[in-house]
Amino acid sequence: MRSHLLHGVVRHRRARPFVYGLEHAVFYAALDLDELDLVDRSLRLFRRNRTGPVTFRDDDHLEPPARDLRTDFLDHLVAQGEDPRDWRITIVANLRVAGYVFDPASFFLCRDADGILRVVVVEVHNTHGERHLYTLRPREGGALTFLAAMAKTFYVSPFVDVRGGYEVRVRDEPKRLRITINQHQPEGLELHASLDLDRRPLTDWNLLRLLVRHPFLPQRTTALIHWHALRLWLRGAPFRRHREVIR
């Protein structure tokens, strides 16, 4: 089974208007879209589109929400001008725990028959229930590294303007996955974010160990987002309300 677990740390470092950093332990599922039903059948803790200790729901992804994630995502790639025949597509995402999930960013890693990343789709979610897809082609890359850039067009944080752009780098190693995102404004680098993750087999035992080590991770993620937002606000970071930015 190609699907697996990823365990490591997420780091953020804000450069302006003052330096502010954070680091938290996280885990993700890396699910091959061809194996979603196989994973459901193989694991006792995992359920697809039905109630269970840990759940993956197709409609937590894409916009409009997916009915069948593999079919709908392939349709998205075709609409973007790609020919995904013979591609192997993995989604890196948080799972629902006790029925709840919040996934600030999911990543669709699209590899060709030789295992080379051809497209990376970054699916960004905000706390207002909105989601947006950025479909990236490599500016440069090779067997292990994918580098691309995109303009920012989606509201994520009240402390970051919807302007400028992102640079996304994916380091796709056999035993490790590293994703870095730098957000640039005309004034310079504003935010550096990274995921540094080790690959682990997707088994009930490994999943249980991560659930015990990181209980209620999605709930914790949401709580930490609001905690860090409060700290930024108290330090005087400029605040832009959602309704003011999107109008």
pLDDT in tens, 93-112: 999 999 999 889 999 999 99
Q: From residue 216, how far is each of 95, 150, 198, 210, 242 by CA, in Å?
A: 10, 32, 20, 10, 27
| 26 and 20 Cβ atoms separated by less than 8 Å | no
pTM of the model: 0.91
CB contact burial 102-129 (16+ within 10 A = b; e otherwise): bbbbbbbbbbeeeeebbbbbbbbbbbee
Task: Give the pLDDT confidence of 104-155 residue by residue, as tens digits.
Answer: 999 999 999 988 899 999 999 988 788 989 999 988 656 678 999 888 778 6
What pLDDT, on the 0 to 100 scale, is given for residue 117?
Answer: 92
